[in-house]
Structure 1
Amino acid sequence: MVDLSQIKEHAKVIGADGVHVGTVDHVEGHRIKLTKQDSGDQHHHYISTGLIAEVEDGTVRLSANADVAVTMEESE
């Protein structure tokens, strides 16, 4: 399990394939709230912290590839 306190504001979120998924706005419970700037619809989207494989050097790496991870995003 990942230590959620390691996830910092404005950290990059990337898929297992290294592709950019979004940027952390902040952690809300068991979800990462992504910034609006990374969404095509100017709404916040959320990624479950259960998808996090690791946090390394300020980057959040997911266990799923980016194209799969974005299908699992939740809207506000």
Structure 2
Amino acid sequence: MIEAHEIKEDMPVVTAQAEEFAVVDHTTGPDSIKLKKDDSGTHHYIPVSWVISTEGGVVKINRTLEQVKKDWTTKSMENV
């Protein structure tokens, strides 16, 4: 299991199919990752529980891009 302290600012985030879709802004507590603003100027958040690896300085998650876009949020998951 990956812990939030293993996830660092500016690490690329890739899907289960190795598609890079975001960059880490920072973690928000032990359970949430804030992503840098996307092209629309919006921050998104994903749960740390999606992360399966941080090997090679890359955050790899267990979701497809379609799943990510359906399930990510624009509000912090901290204290949820």
How does the TM-score come out when normalised to structure 2? 0.84
Segments of 5+ residues of structure 2 without an aligned counterpart are 76-80
Identity of aligned residues (%): 28
Report Cα offsets for 1:2-50 as digits up to 9, x if no partner: 03212110000000000112000000021110001xx242121001111
Q: For 1:31 and 1:9, locate their aligned partners in 2 and report how far apart those are by CA, in whole Å.
A: 13
Q: Does the Cα contact within 8 Å between 2:3 and 2:48 map onto a contact in 1?
A: no
Runs of 4+, deviation exceeding 2 Å: none
Where is the strand percentage greater, Structure 1 or Structure 2?
A: 1
Q: For 1:40 and 1:4, locate their aligned partners in 2 and report how far apart those are by CA, in whole Å.
A: 25
Amino acid at match of 1:7: I
2:36 equivalent in structure 1: 35
Segments of 5+ residues of structure 1 without an aligned counterpart are none
Q: For 2:66 and 2:14, locate their aligned partners in 1 and report how far apart those are by CA, in whole Å.
A: 10
1:69 equivalent in structure 2: 68
2:3 equivalent in structure 1: 3
How does the TM-score come out when normalised to structure 1? 0.88
Count of residue pairs the alignment pairs up: 74
Query: How well do the aligned residues superpose, as a CA RMSD in angstroms?
Result: 1.1
